[in-house]
Amino acid sequence: MKAGTKQKLVYKTDVIIGIRLGPGHRTTAGPRIACLDNVVYAGYTTGRFDMIIEELFESEDQLFSFLSNTLGKVPGVLDTEIFGVLRTLKINYDWKLPTEPRKGGRDANTRG
């Protein structure tokens, strides 16, 4: 998908949500959250949040329902912070992993 094409799709509401989980809930709440409808990305993080997820919705009403009736009812979710994506500048689904691991923490093309 190219930048700016989101508006042509049925999904008009794109949000990223930072989630704080209660102690001991990472291994139980994380997989439950990752499997929820509309979640297109889920990852454990360091820093302020325990997880970051991205969701796509057809409307703000769907987002409201997700926050009120779905995510808010997952055991272990303590707090959330929602970031609305106003305009997508880049989406790259064609990235590839390096073919060989780096040696000594340096890129193979780096000299010195």
Q: How confident is the model at residue 5 (pLDDT cuts 50, 70, 90)?
A: very low
> Distance between CA atoms of 61 and 7, rounded to whole angstroms?
17
> Distance between CA atoms of 49 and 45, rounded to whole angstroms?
6
> Is 44:30 a contact under the CB 8 Å cutoff?
yes
Domains and CATH numbers, the chain: 6-84 (3.30.70.920)
> Is 82:15 a contact under the CB 8 Å cutoff?
yes
Chain segment 55-77, per-residue pLDDT in tens: 999 999 999 999 999 998 999 99
Query: Is 0.85 topped by the overall pTM?
Result: no
